[in-house]
Amino acid sequence: MGSPLHAPIFLVLCIFIQSSACGQGLGTEPFGRSYGATEARKSVQEAETRFLLFKNESDRLGCELRLQRPETLQECGFNTSQPLVMIIHGWSVDGLLENWIWKLVGALKSRPVNVGLVDWISLAYQHYSVAVRNTRVVGQDVAALLLWLEESVKFSLSDVHLIGYSLGAHVSGFAGSSMSGKHKIGRITGLDPAGPMFEGTSPSDRLSPDDANFVDAIHTFTREHMGLSVGIKQPIAHYDFYPNGGTFQPGCYFLDLYKHIAEHGLNAITQTIKCAHERSVHLFIDSLQHSNQQSIGFQCSDMDSFSQGLCLSCKKGRCNTLGYDTRMDWSGKSKKLFLITRAQAPFRVFHYQFKIQFINQTEKPVEPTFTMSLLGTKGDTKKIPITLGEGITSNKTYSLLITLDKDVGELVMIKFKWENRAVWANVWNTVQTIMPWGVTPHYSGLVLKTICVKAGETQQRMTFCPENVDDLQLHPTQEKVFVRCEVNSIRLKRKSR
């Protein structure tokens, strides 16, 4: 783990951090000079890890806890009856603590917990490979603090929650693996744990499920570029959440680069890439600030399957809440969970699986584009585009994932429309024109029999049938209304009386 970065990875990191250190040389030595083990140890010895405790939501200075100085616990207001949540930042570009730290401190102080910060800025403000080597030392420092708390004030390690961002996630892991004895840290949360020099390594060289009683991770920027993922891609926790597939995040696309240039000038590229990496932090903050709007992740093998709506089950622990209130009843194998989020807070969306059964009565494959309008007990949403991605050839059922930004309540009606106007509408109009009145045209369109819906957040299953059971055919530019099948059954019974 102590080997220097390869030149291609270094070049990408230069783009990512926009650091003056990147200009020190791109020759045979990736960092302009060689950092050996002796120099790395020297940098560790000259710096220190500081532990700060925050008294309230607006406290940005913190009060320093000092090992073997029990009076600092009282001075800093440490409450032994409340859990301890320690924030651990990542690699530093400019030697300054980032603004998200104070946002997370403020959000955590809304809960009855001690909130602290592991300030290792002097060790993190190094060339990346040196900062990576320092993570193990800082982890041992954190372990020393926690063991001292256990010995001096009988503070239980099970009441400790470490929240590590990027490199800080692996610092948390090293803190957990440094514990001696039977007791483990209660929980570790990794916020987009760093990928370079950690991807593919053994569990002892990174954050792993063995480092605490419960480990969860949120992966938000695992997209590979030139062999590099800023965040680690592989599962490293009991529950690994992959919002939007974990590769990139809504609102962080390079299409937004012009907006970032206006806001951040030359740092625009940094901000665009950092946006997705740091989204993990803001998703966690959102879970504290909007506790009544919790995002839910669903266990799935990959994003392709999830995008078909095939994984919206909560049976046997297959779903869990993302963020602070994650359910910690893990048992068995580690789980990969996927979810969709909005581009800004509150990030929660509502997930639905739609299974649509078609019968194609035409002689040729049909590749239509549809829209759906949904009506629920709490609201509605207009014209959601539906693209099946392949031609409808015969009797076939399609499964797809639909997400809504707002809660429309229980679905009561679906309006389904065939939007392909250009080609099929002309064909249909021509057929109708040349056919004599009262003669049924040979072209019969599509038959849309049923729409089955499963709501991920409520786990409710519903089946919708055509409102007009005497006309099941769907033609270009035509809209069909679907209602709950049980409602249709009641209507038919009344009609038959």
Q: Which two tokens stand for residue 164?
A: 């590590």
Instruction: Write down the catalytic residue from 192, 216, 240, 286.
Output: 192
Tell me phi and psi for residue 297, to 5 degrees: -105, 150
192 among known catalytic residues: yes
Other C-beta atoms closer than 10 Å to the C-beta of 464 total 24
Instruction: Write down the catalytic residue from 127, 238, 277, 475.
Output: 277
290 among known catalytic residues: no
Other C-beta atoms closer than 10 Å to the C-beta of 245 total 19
Helix (H), strand (E), coil (C) string for 387-415: ECCCCECCCEEEEEEEEECCCCCCEEEEE
Task: Cite the beta strand spans of 197-293 per DSSP E.
Answer: 214-218, 239-243
304 among known catalytic residues: no
Dump the DSSP string for 55-110: SSTT--S-EEE-TT-THHHHHTT--TTS-EEEEE----SSSS--THHHHHHHHHTT
Handedness of CA 19, 23, 24, 29 (dihedral sign): positive
Instruction: Write down the catalytic residue from 19, 92, 129, 166.
Output: 166
Task: Measure the N-to-C terminal CA separation of the chain; round to a whole number of Å.
Answer: 79
Q: Which amino acid is at 248?
A: F
Residue 494 assigned ligand-binding role: no
**8 Å CB contact between 404 and 458:** no
Q: How far, in whole angstroms, is CA 218 from its chain's centroid?
A: 6
Please give the Cα distance from 195 to 204 (Å, whole number).
15
Residues 121-149, buried b or exposed e (16+ Cβ, 10 A)?
bbbbbbbbbbbbbbbbbbbebbbbbbbbb
Residue 206 assigned ligand-binding role: yes
**8 Å CB contact between 190 and 216:** yes
Feature table: binding site for Ca(2+): 206, 211
Feature table: binding site: 206, 211
Catalytic residues: 166, 192, 277
